[in-house]
């Protein structure tokens, strides 16, 4: 069965296509009687306007593109959920593609976006250092790009991200408050600016406010690695009394080690992490964490997108602030 079109409706009603079109949009030129007839038939033939024809005519698509490294991810999926929610409220649909941390995929995805004339794109870089030509071209074409999470250094772009520095500081504050003597701090991929920001701010704060607290700084790229690191360091003579986990991945590894070693939290070891809250709530006691919400970031990104579309080109870097969520692990 073929789709209902304006032409079909027009034929049935012995009206012109334009009249039908205007009637459907409640145009003042059309009489109430005609409008009623048109609407009735449209309803019964369940007419749905062809979005493609509309876009072709209107030159605007009501679709946003979203690129994430992976959809199946605690952080990104909540980001997507937020953007989807807002988009739908504003009459937009989403086209979501994943880069799998591969710049080549990212390029292909952008091509698809351009072919579909998306009204804007939310992009998370697949790697930190990357060729940004495509994005510059998008800007030239007046397709707003809002970068999130992993963003380029280039300041000609609009970016939103978590307040990573604040995260580091807040974590450090709470560690100091606990009166920690020796802490194990595990950070993520040192190649990412996120890691850098969090680490440096953490380090500075620690150093200034509690210079005598001994901190071991280590990097881990997987939860397994974090688990091993924890076990290795915990076997030393002078045990650390606090562990700081920069990511959920790291926290997972650490918690496995803690359970395996049957360590009491927070009595023997205090645990603090940076997270959106899902993982910390899986344990008893609930792990205290500095909240970085993908959901909030999504909301912010959307606001920026809309601002960009209206004001032409507001270039900006906005951050969503971090807050400390008290669990029972400190």
Partner DNA sequence: TAAATAATAACAAACGTTTGCGATAAATTT
Partner DNA sequence: AAATTTATCGCAAACGTTTGTTATTATTTA
d(Cα 8, Cα 29) in Å, to the nearest integer?
Answer: 21
* Residue 7 interacts with which of its own copies, DNA, none, CB < 5 to 8 Å by class: DNA
- Whole-number minimum distance, CB 84 to its own copies, in Å? 6
Provide the mask over 20-59, with x wherever binding to DNA is found by CB under 7 A and - wherever it is not.
-xx-xx---xxxxxx------------xxxx--xx-xxxx
Task: Identify the burial level of 174 via C-beta atoms within 10 angstroms of its C-beta, where 0-12 means exposed, 13-18 middle and 19 or more buried.
Answer: buried
134 conformational bin, left if phi > 0, alpha if psi -120 to 50, beta if neither = alpha
Task: Note whether 11 binds DNA by CB under 7 A.
Answer: no
Interface with its own copies (CB under 8 A)? 1, 3, 46, 48-53, 55-56, 61, 63, 70-73, 77-78, 80-81, 84-85, 88, 93-98, 105, 108, 111-112, 114-117, 137, 140-142, 252, 255-257, 259-260, 279, 282-284, 295
Q: What whole-number distance in Å separates Cα of residue 273 and Cα of residue 167?
A: 10
Quick one: what does residue 315 bind among DNA, its own copies, none, with the CB cut-off 5 to 8 Å set by partner type?
Answer: none
Angle at 93 between CA 144 and CA 159, to 5 degrees: 30
Distance, CA of 139 to CA of 295 (rounded, Å): 26
- Beta-carbon contacts of 40 under 8 Å, excluding residues fewer than 6 positions away, are none
- Tell me if 1 contacts DNA by CB under 7 A: no
Give me the least distance between CB of 61 and DNA, in Å please: 12
Residue 12, interface with DNA (CB under 7 A)?
no
Query: What span, in angstroms and rounded, lies between the C-alpha atoms of 24 and 44?
Result: 14
The interface partner of residue 15, options being its own copies, DNA, none and the CB cut-off 5 to 8 Å by kind, is DNA
**Residue closest to 164 by CA, chosen among 326, 325, 322, 324:** 322
Could you say which of its own copies, DNA, none residue 22 binds, taking C-beta under 5 to 8 angstroms by partner kind? DNA
> Cβ closer to its own copies: 122 or 202?
122
DSSP-assigned states of every residue in 153-214: S-TTSEEEEE-HHHHHHHHHHHHHHTT-SEEEEEE--TTSHHHHHHHHHHHHHHHHH-TTSE
Instruction: Indicate which of DNA, its own copies, none lies near residue 323 (CB less than 5 to 8 Å, by partner kind).
Output: none
- Shortest spacing between CB 256 and its own copies, in angstroms: 5
Torsion of CA 50, 54, 57, 61, to 10 degrees: -130
170's contact among its own copies, DNA, none, with CB below 5 to 8 A by partner kind, is none
* 95 belongs to the binding site for DNA (CB under 7 A): no
Residue 2 CB contacts under 8 Å (≥ 6 apart), including other chains: none
> Nearest distance from residue 207's CB to its own copies, in Å?
33
- In angstroms, give the least distance from the CB of 3 to DNA: 6
Q: Which residues bind DNA (CB under 7 A)?
A: 2-7, 14-19, 21-22, 24-25, 29-34, 47-50, 53-54, 56-59
């Amino acid at each position: 069965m073929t789709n209902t079109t304006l032409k079909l409706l027009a034929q049935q009603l012995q009206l012109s296509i334009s009249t039908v079109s205007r009637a459907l949009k409640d145009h003042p030129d059309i009489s109430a009687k005609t409008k009623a007839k048109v609407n009735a038939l449209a309803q019964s033939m369940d007419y749905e306007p062809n979005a493609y024809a509309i876009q072709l005519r209107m030159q605007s698509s009501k679709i946003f593109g979203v690129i994430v490294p992976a959809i199946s991810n605690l952080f990104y999926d909540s980001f997507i959920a937020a953007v989807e929610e807002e988009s739908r409220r504003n009459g937009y649909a989403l086209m979501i593609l994943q880069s799998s941390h591969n710049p080549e995929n990212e390029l292909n995805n952008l091509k698809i976006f351009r072919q579909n004339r998306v009204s804007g794109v939310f992009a998370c870089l697949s790697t930190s250092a990357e060729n940004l030509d495509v994005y510059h071209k998008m800007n030239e074409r007046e397709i707003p790009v809002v970068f999130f999470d992993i963003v380029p250094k280039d300041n000609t772009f609009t970016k939103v991200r978590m307040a990573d520095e604040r995260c580091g500081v807040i974590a450090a504050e709470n560690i100091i408050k606990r009166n920690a003597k020796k802490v194990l701090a595990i950070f993520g991929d040192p190649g990412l600016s996120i890691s850098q920001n969090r680490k440096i701010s953490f380090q500075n704060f620690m150093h200034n406010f509690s210079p005598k607290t001994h901190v071991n700084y280590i990097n881990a790229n997987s939860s397994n690695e974090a688990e091993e690191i924890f076990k290795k360091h915990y076997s030393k003579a002078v045990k650390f009394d606090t562990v700081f986990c920069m990511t959920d991945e790291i926290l997972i590894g650490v918690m496995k080690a803690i359970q395996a070693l049957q360590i009491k939290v927070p009595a023997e070891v205090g645990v603090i992490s940076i997270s959106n809250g899902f993982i910390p709530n899986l344990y008893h006691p609930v792990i205290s964490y500095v909240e970085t919400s993908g959901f909030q970031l999504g909301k912010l990104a959307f606001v920026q997108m809309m601002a960009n579309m209206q004001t032409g080109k507001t270039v900006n870097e906005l951050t969503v602030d971090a807050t400390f969520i008290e669990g029972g692990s400190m």
